[in-house]
Structure 1
């Protein structure tokens, strides 16, 4: 992976303020109950109440976010949010649903889609999600601890639009979900898919 540079927590702006934010050597963030990001598809509703700490992401750049959380609330989620505007965004990371931890992504262009696969073996791990922005796509990879990177998604994404990205959390069904974000970095985008 290319050389990375730490992004300061105060370099980002929240899409929606979390319940609490505590900065030590990490950033501990507690979500507001009912927070989520989704548009229309299958469920019919629109939620734009996620907590995402965003900084600019240019074509040719990548961002990585590392985190830990107690995965036990239905639809608890954390990862990376990449946003152009309210109708064009992507969230990628892990979500706890139906007693399983799932690794996946939601890509939204007017409506949202969702791809996910179980990674229950990651429940106790520090998880890192990496997004690389190409001229026509965002490439998502993830790993647990120092394990191998997994390709999660290749998603269409407008390279001509200004976009921002950064740490994400949401708690659609409960209060008290706290994520410990341990690292936020920027580097050059990955040049290969494989």
Structure 2
């Protein structure tokens, strides 16, 4: 991966304030509010714009990488990286606990949301990293557990002319008390290939 620079936890701004934030000891421990989520229209017919995303500007040619751990217990507990231009155009990518399984995937939203996910139950008690690279016409999402090789999660269209911001996110649509410990937030040059 290209040279990286650490992004301080206090560099970003929350899309929606979480229930609590603690940065003692160098990590970012965030507790989500019950009912927080991000989704628009598709299949469920509702709009949720209450995710907790800590965002800084992200230009074409850059990548943002976030690492974290959490006790995955509640239906749709989720955490990862959020990339946003506005409330109708955004991508969230990371892990989500659904129907008794941990999944890695992405929701890509262009007025309407879609959702792709694959099971990674073996990642449940490990440190997970999610990396988004922004190209002129696309976003490339990769993820891994611990120091395993990166897995390609998604190649999604994304407007290279739009101003965008990205950073760590979490949401807890069905319960109070989800606490995610973010251990790292970095910026680097975008990956230059898909493979």
TM-score, scaled relative to structure 2: 0.99
1:92 is matched with 93
1:6 is matched with 6
Give, in angstroms, the shift of residue 114 of structure 1.
Answer: 0.2
Q: What aligned pairs does 1:24-173 form with structure 2 within 5 A after superposition?
A: 24=24, 25-173=26-174
Question: Aligned equivalents of 2:75 and 2:86: distance in 1?
Answer: 27
When the two chains are superposed, the root-mean-square deviation of aligned CA atoms in Å is 0.3
Question: Aligned equivalents of 1:73 and 1:42: distance in 2?
Answer: 21
Question: Aligned equivalents of 1:148 and 1:100: distance in 2?
Answer: 21
Give, in angstroms, the shift of residue 191 of structure 1.
Answer: 0.2
Give, in angstroms, the shift of residue 78 of structure 1.
Answer: 0.1
Give, in angstroms, the shift of residue 156 of structure 1.
Answer: 0.2
1:181 is matched with 182
Q: Runs of 5+ in structure 2 lacking a partner?
A: none
Question: Aligned equivalents of 2:160 and 2:126: distance in 1?
Answer: 33
1:64-91 deviation per Cα after TM superposition (whole angstroms, max 9, x unaligned): 0000000111100000000000000000
Question: Aligned equivalents of 1:86 and 1:169: distance in 2?
Answer: 16
1:8-53 deviation per Cα after TM superposition (whole angstroms, max 9, x unaligned): 0010000000000000210000000000000000000000000000
State whether structure 2 residue 17 is matched by structure 1 residue 17: yes
Question: Aligned equivalents of 1:189 and 1:70: distance in 2?
Answer: 30
TM-score, scaled relative to structure 1: 1.00
The list of structure 1 runs, each at least 4 consecutive aligned residues, that deviate by more than 4 angstroms after superposition, is none
Question: Aligned equivalents of 1:98 and 1:43: distance in 2?
Answer: 16
Question: Aligned equivalents of 2:111 and 2:175: distance in 1?
Answer: 27
SS of aligned partner of 2:186? strand
